Structure 1
Amino acid sequence: MSSVWNLLNPIRNGATGLKLLSSGRELFGTVIQHGKMDKTVTVKVDYRYWYPKTKEFKSKTSKYQVHDSENFCVTGDKVVIKSMLPISTMKHYYVRNIVKPFPRDTYYKEGQEKKEMSEQLKKEYQRLYQEFYEREQQRTEIKNKKDEVTLKSALKAKALTRAMANLRKVESTQKKKDKVRSKSESRREQKSLSEAIDSKLSKEI
């Protein structure tokens, strides 16, 4: 008899080139990390077990390093993992199939936004560091290489802190503008709706 998690039409089977067991343990979990190691994802599995001392069910969470031969899984996927012969000290499971895939377009959109934010932070950091360094060169006289290294490290930390603060300020300003715009649009819609209702009532009268 097949396991309850062995679905009739699995989306994919990640068992290519592995030494599989004829019968093994199958678990249902969620991918919480991917891309950190090649062909490896971290899967979180939740358990419920009976605790006889207090006579109640308790929950427990375990994390597993799971083999994903095609690097297909992303964070948020609901997957079934199955035991196999160990291929490393940490990997004893492979991705059997994906039950509920996380939307790829949402994931890649968030990744693109993070990439753009990091590029903006890098540009702002470089601009501020150059500005601070030129200002300090005019103010103070650098006597030796040690003083220069100390000054550069202090200015780098200062520039990074200021760049992050500037980006947060820009982001909060943009959120406020979006909020005001959405409010004005909703008011405009309500006004147009009320005008349409008034015109309809006047025609009926």
Structure 2
Amino acid sequence: MPVKQQIGIVISNKMQKTIVVKVENRYSHPIYSKTVVKTTKYLAHDELETCNIGDQVLVEECRPLSKKKRWKLIQVLSKSSLLS
């Protein structure tokens, strides 16, 4: 079974070794044909604490690490231009 991966934006890094990643899912509404954007937030494990707010990251599903944390950071795709 393939491992799920998502690309998202870091919206919080205030916890130790944990980041919050916002993933947008765009799809066409079946009746109205309007593009709908659904946003999901995932808690992901960031072992080295390398991420800052606004970074685009690749996260991968893994075993449960805590009550809500089931994703881990794989790669930082692009760094944010914001200074934190």
Is this a same-fold pair by TM over 0.5? yes
Determine the structure 2 residue equivalent to 1:32.
Answer: 11
After the TM superposition, which residues 7-22 of structure 1 pair with which residues of structure 2 at under 5 Å, given as runs? none
Matched residue count: 84
> Any idea what SS the aligned residue of 1:107 has?
coil
Larger radius of gyration: 1
CA RMSD of aligned residues (A): 1.6
TM norm structure 1: 0.39
Give the letter for the 1:67 counterpart: H
TM norm structure 2: 0.89
Moved over 4 A (4+): none
Which deviations, in whole Å up to 9, do the C-alpha atoms of 1:57-88 show, x marking residues without a partner? 21111111110011111111110111011111
Give the letter for the 1:84 counterpart: C
Which residue of 54, 62, 74 maps to 1:96?
A: 74
Determine the structure 2 residue equivalent to 1:46.
Answer: 24
Give the letter for the 1:43 counterpart: V
Structure 2 unpaired stretches of 5+? none
Measured in 1, the distance between the counterparts of 2:33 and 2:2 equals: 33
Q: State percent identity of aligned pairs.
A: 31
**Structure number having the greater strand percentage:** 2
Determine the structure 1 residue equivalent to 2:83.
Answer: 107
Measured in 2, the distance between the counterparts of 1:65 and 1:94 equals: 8
Determine the structure 2 residue equivalent to 1:67.
Answer: 45
Structure 1 unpaired stretches of 5+? 1-21, 109-205
> Any idea what SS the aligned residue of 2:83 has?
helix
Give the letter for the 2:27 counterpart: Y
> Any idea what SS the aligned residue of 1:88 has?
coil
Measured in 2, the distance between the counterparts of 1:24 and 1:78 equals: 19
Determine the structure 2 residue equivalent to 1:81.
Answer: 59
